[in-house]
A = this chain, B = another copy of it.
Amino acid sequence: MAGKEKQPKIITDKNQMRTWTRGMRSQGKTIALVPTMGFLHDGHLSLIQEAHKHSQLVVVSIYVNPSQFAPSEDLSTYPSDFEGDIRKLMAVPGGVDAVFHPHNLYDYGVESARVCAGNAGGYGEMPAVSCLEESGSGHETWVRVERLEKGMCGRSRPVFFRGVATIVAKLFNIVEPDVAVFGKKDYQQWRIIRRMVRDLDFSINIVGSEIVRDADGLAMSSRNVRLSPEERQKALSINRSLSKAKSAAESGELNCKRLKNLVFDEVREAGGELDYVEIVEQENLEVVEEIKSPVVILIATWFGKVRLIDNMEINI
């Protein structure tokens, strides 16, 4: 530890952030952005190591984006530990060069951008659809990737991908990176961001980074800390069942209904309350009935009060 660790520059103002990037770029540096909501774990740190492969400088953003949460969701209890995050970032090989940690990216100085706390309902006449109030002169511009956002997590979390695509577009315009790294654990999100970048002509290379799992196989997530030891044990059925389905497919079982049932049965038996299990094309996320080309099997399931997602690519 000690002297060799790099202290990242901490930037909270969006104009300062852009000035920093532009200054670095004028010196010929390339910049990668790793967007996060903080409470960093080894999964995030692997994104940073991936980022180092693609650019000279790495910026990590830490911002819990209210617009991707519905009022019924867990914005108010979303875990955070900024000081711990900075310590972890300093310990990553190569460190990070800047941390962008804004207070509120929806405050335009015209009126205070209100964010709902906990399970609050709507403000005024309109029922809130996200934890960001939309009225008067407040934020009202949304980026939607209309087909890719529809199924799976988009069905159970109707404002989620709208909020994600919009905040990522904002971060891209503020940080102006050359490269941005996203985890393939959030597979649908990763595909949505890639499509958005293509369709809106952002000049940013989107890199997908592989899922990082704990030794027991559970995919890393900030939400895992909320699992009781028993729930965690049960949640291992997710990775186990995905691996089984993958093996079965590789052994010639190409019928998606039967493959999905393998996963369903194993996770249900372990006590998981399934949101969805889906087998889809890797790029367009179109539902597949019989595997003929590379696909990905995706799952979302509740264990207790925690919703977990995971996926596995099957390259046949």
* In the complex, A201 has a CB within 8 A of chain B: yes
Chain A residues numbered 141-177 whose CB sits less than 8 Å from any CB in chain B: 141-148, 165-166, 169-170, 173-174, 176
Q: Which residues of B are found within 8 Å of A145, using beta-carbon distances? A: 140-141
Q: Which residues of B are found within 8 Å of A165, using beta-carbon distances? A: 141
Q: Which residues of B are found within 8 Å of A140, using beta-carbon distances? A: 145-148, 195, 199
* In the complex, A252 has a CB within 8 A of chain B: no
* Most chain B Cβ neighbours within 10 Å, of A18, A141, A169, A195: A141
Q: Which residues of B are found within 8 Å of A200, using beta-carbon distances? A: 141, 143, 166, 169-170, 173
Q: Which residues of B are found within 8 Å of A147, using beta-carbon distances? A: 134, 140
CA distance A108 to B143 in the complex (A): 19
User: A146's closest neighbor in chain B, by CB?
Assistant: B140
If A142-B146, A144-B142, A144-B144 touch, does A284 touch B201 (CB 8 Å cutoff)?
no
CA distance A14 to B174 in the complex (A): 22
* In the complex, A268 has a CB within 8 A of chain B: no
Q: Which residues of B are found within 8 Å of A143, using beta-carbon distances? A: 141-143, 200
Q: Which residues of B are found within 8 Å of A170, using beta-carbon distances? A: 199-201
1/0 per residue, CB under 8 A from B, across A130-145: the answer is 0000101101111111
1/0 per residue, CB under 8 A from B, across A113-138: the answer is 00000000000000000000010110
Q: Which of B14, B139, B146, B174 contacts A141 (CB 8 A)?
A: B146
CA distance A147 to B201 in the complex (A): 25
Q: Which of B146, B169, B199, B284 contacts A136 (CB 8 A)?
A: B284
CA distance A169 to B142 in the complex (A): 12
CA distance A202 to B176 in the complex (A): 10
CA distance A166 to B145 in the complex (A): 12
User: Are A18 and B141 in contact (CB-based, < 8 A)?
Assistant: no
CA distance A105 to B198 in the complex (A): 11
CA distance A108 to B195 in the complex (A): 10
8 contacts between A and B (CB under 8 A): A14-B201, A137-B283, A141-B145, A141-B200, A142-B144, A169-B200, A170-B201, A174-B201
